[in-house]
Amino acid sequence: MANVQSVDVKLQVSEHDHAHDHDEHEESFVSKYIFSLDHKMISRQFLLTAIIMAVVAMTMSIVFRMQLAWPGEKFAFINAMVGDKWGKDGILDPNMYLALVTIHGTIMVFFVLTGGLSGTFANLLIPYQVGARDMASGFLNMLSYWFFFVSSVIMLGSLFIDDGPASGGWTIYPPLSALPEAMPGSKLGMTLWLISMTLFVVSSLLGGINYIVTIINLRTKGMKMTRMPLTMWAILITAILGVLSFPVLVSCVVLLICDRSLGTSFYLSDIYIGGRPLDNVGGSPVLFEHLFWFLGHPEVYIVLLPALGITSEIISTNSRKPIFGYRAMIGSMLAIGFLSFIVWGHHMFLTGMNPFLGSVFVFTTLLIAIPSAVKAFNYITTLWKGNIQYTPAMLFSIGLVSSFVTGGVTGIILADSTLDINVHDTYFVVAHFHIVMGLSAIFGMFAGVYHWFPKMFLRMMNKKLGYLHFWLTFICAYGVFFPMHFLGLAGVPRRYYTNSNFPLFDNLVDINEIVTVFAIVAALAQFIFIFNFFYSIFRGEKSPQNPWNSNTLEWTTPMANIHGNWPGSLPVVHRWAYDYSKPGAEHDFIPQTVPLADGENDGGGH
């Protein structure tokens, strides 16, 4: 099948060449901007959708952070955001609180950091960096975006229904999510959540298969696997993880739909709710948890790996040095990818799962710290004796290394089942995953946008606004998530509408207030980015062909979004992507298309 597709694309491509030889290729508005088959346009579509989704999810977080810092206070803002039904007099309803944390998590994890991050950068970079005219199948690629779009619309639509959106947490554990009697969000809202996520998985699979096929089959001449930029390796491994794990989420969701609608008992047993015993016997919610986390844990790396790939590229380029330990970086990503499939049980130490099974997961989970440590040290060594160019992208990349370490070390605590007992499901966990996964991935995404903006929109973003955006975001992000560790140490559970019902938590009010103030400033800081982004699309300075003096192939394409990417024949690759500051070279970068000189070694030898 893969081969058929690649042949298909080659045929398409020769047609494009033909068109360029004679006349400009005429395109209608619909085929250019809406149902586009072009990877660059699809990438921009993913990015714009993700930005909109991110603003929604961020606004939600401000609403529930205000509730947590000042419970019982009346805010016109809350009333304006959730309306009279859920925010009467400006006080948030407890069910809406749960709905907001649920949809915030769902949107950030799936729609922004999976669909948005992979969708944007896999689509933009794969054909550019492997030297292909387009993705293996432009049509599947278009379908991938439109499934993503429909699933986003359904997810947002669920916010406006009468009973409110899904509210059982982004992990939607049954029976809470299975029984409409359990909470209002488990009525129509949960149905829409399940439909939306199923479509999302379809989108993710169509995209993922396409990414894998393109990287494996459509590399240009000379682009050996071991010459690929690390972004390509990261996206390849991410796509493989997605293709192997997302279908399990679908099976998990389909069984839940059966339990909800068809009276089956996969996850339900011995339940008395709404004043009557249910007929369901023999199922187990623990089965759901296994299926969910079989996706859920690789998902963490689906979110993180593209960010790590993007920043590897940016840190090397802007340190003007080869990435340190190219092969070790690939090896650690492969190890992380493999291990990510056998660690899911660390989310389930206290679910009633056999404790011996827990021990196995402790072992595999702590193993994953080794390749992660290797990656962090390799990043740091790349900076050593570099000539660091502080583009906004570089700032965010260094921010990622910091958050990857800061959030990563607490993972060592949580992976240890013995220590997990007392901090499981507390704010310690919230702090951990927001820093290691949320911040790192979003920093990677910002880095990618700042770095490849010239390729996407042919113009430059404003540097000074980028600096301001980074420093405010960096300070506020740590200001939001670092103090949460201390809430966890005091034993505060997550997903509590308010802590004021437990007098023992009364001394923690100032932590919650500090967190919320940082969150509000951080949210406002994002509007600097949004302004810079949209302003620069239309009025930014025109970009030269290779603004960052980078080696990879995308910077050899002309500064125009043309079909087929390169006007003439495809470039031929002669070296790896990291020949920065090579001794004896005239410039401090040697693009991949430059042939090796006599006696010159490829891949870091010199």
Partner 1 sequence: MKLLILIGLVLLIIAAHQLMRVVELSREFKKTKEWHITDSDNSFNGKLMLFIGGFGLIGFLFWQINRWADNSLPGAASVHGLKIDTLWDYNMYLIIVVFVLTNAVLFWFAYKYAGKKGVKATFLAHDNRLEMAWTIAPAVVLAGIIIFGLKYWNEITERSTDPNKVTIELYAKQFDWTARYAGKDKVLGSTDYRQIDGGNSVGLDTLDATGYDDILVKIEFHIPVNREIEFKMRSRDVIHSAYMPHFRAQMNCVPGMVTEFKFTPNKTTAEMRKDPYVIQLMAGINEARAKKGDEPIEFDYILLCNKICGSGHFNMPMTIVVESEKEYNAWLAKQKAVKTIETK
Q: What is the DSSP letter of 459?
A: B
Name the residue nearer to partner 1 (CB basis): 46 or 379.
Answer: 379
Cα–Cα distance measured from residue 178 to residue 180, given in angstroms and rounded to the nearest whole number: 7
Contact in structure between 354 and 347 (CB atoms under 8 Å): no
Q: What is the DSSP letter of 30?
A: I
Using DSSP's 3-state secondary structure scheme, residue 222 falls into: coil
Name the residue nearer to partner 1 (CB basis): 90 or 604.
Answer: 604
Quote the least distance from Cβ 40 to partner 1, whole Å: 21
Quote the least distance from Cβ 602 to partner 1, whole Å: 11
Quote the least distance from Cβ 145 to partner 1, whole Å: 29
DSSP letter string, 87-129 = SGGG---HHHHHHHHHHHHHIIIIIIIIIIHHHHHHHHHHHHH
Which residues, 6+ apart, have CB-to-CB distance to 395 below 8 Å? 466, 467, 470, 471, 474
CA-CA distances (angstroms) from residue 296 to 234, 242, 264, 545? 18, 10, 24, 40
CA-CA distances (angstroms) from residue 218 to 3, 214, 311, 361? 10, 5, 24, 38
Quote the least distance from Cβ 422 to partner 1, whole Å: 5
Provide the β-strand partners of residue 426: 493
Quote the least distance from Cβ 358 to partner 1, whole Å: 7
Name the residue nearer to partner 1 (CB basis): 140 or 287.
Answer: 287
Name the residue nearer to partner 1 (CB basis): 462 or 550.
Answer: 462
Quote the least distance from Cβ 605 to partner 1, whole Å: 7
> What is the number of alpha carbons within 13 Å of residue 166 lying toward its C-beta?
27
Pair of tokens at residue 346: 């660390």
Residue among 398, 234, 369 at smallest CA distance from 305: 234
Quote the least distance from Cβ 102 to partner 1, whole Å: 9
Name the residue nearer to partner 1 (CB basis): 33 or 355.
Answer: 355
Cα–Cα distance measured from residue 88 to residue 254, given in angstroms and rounded to the nearest whole number: 36
Contact in structure between 565 and 138 (CB atoms under 8 Å): no
Name the residue nearer to partner 1 (CB basis): 33 or 531.
Answer: 531
The helix (H) or strand (E) run that includes residue 156 is helix 138-157
Q: Answer whether the bond into residue 175 is a cis peptide, omega within 30°.
A: yes
Quote the least distance from Cβ 592 to partner 1, whole Å: 15
Name the residue nearer to partner 1 (CB basis): 31 or 284.
Answer: 284
Name the residue nearer to partner 1 (CB basis): 97 or 246.
Answer: 97
DSSP letter string, 195-211 = HHHHHHHHHHHHHHHHH
Name the residue nearer to partner 1 (CB basis): 199 or 400.
Answer: 400
Quote the least distance from Cβ 178 to partner 1, whole Å: 9
Contact in structure between 339 and 300 (CB atoms under 8 Å): no
Name the residue nearer to partner 1 (CB basis): 201 or 308.
Answer: 308
Provide the β-strand partners of residue 459: 542
Cα–Cα distance measured from residue 123 to residue 137, given in angstroms and rounded to the nearest whole number: 11
Quote the least distance from Cβ 260 to partner 1, whole Å: 14
Name the residue nearer to partner 1 (CB basis): 247 or 491.
Answer: 491
Task: Please report where in the chains the tokens 């999976």 appear, as a residue.
Answer: 114
Name the residue nearer to partner 1 (CB basis): 22 or 539.
Answer: 539
Q: What is the DSSP letter of 458?
A: S
Quote the least distance from Cβ 520 to partner 1, whole Å: 18
Q: What is the DSSP letter of 32?
A: I
Name the residue nearer to partner 1 (CB basis): 131 or 175.
Answer: 175
Residue among 54, 45, 300, 34 at smallest CA distance from 156: 54
Using DSSP's 3-state secondary structure scheme, residue 178 falls into: coil
Contact in structure between 25 and 19 (CB atoms under 8 Å): yes
CA-CA distances (angstroms) from residue 391 to 142, 311, 314, 376? 32, 12, 9, 20
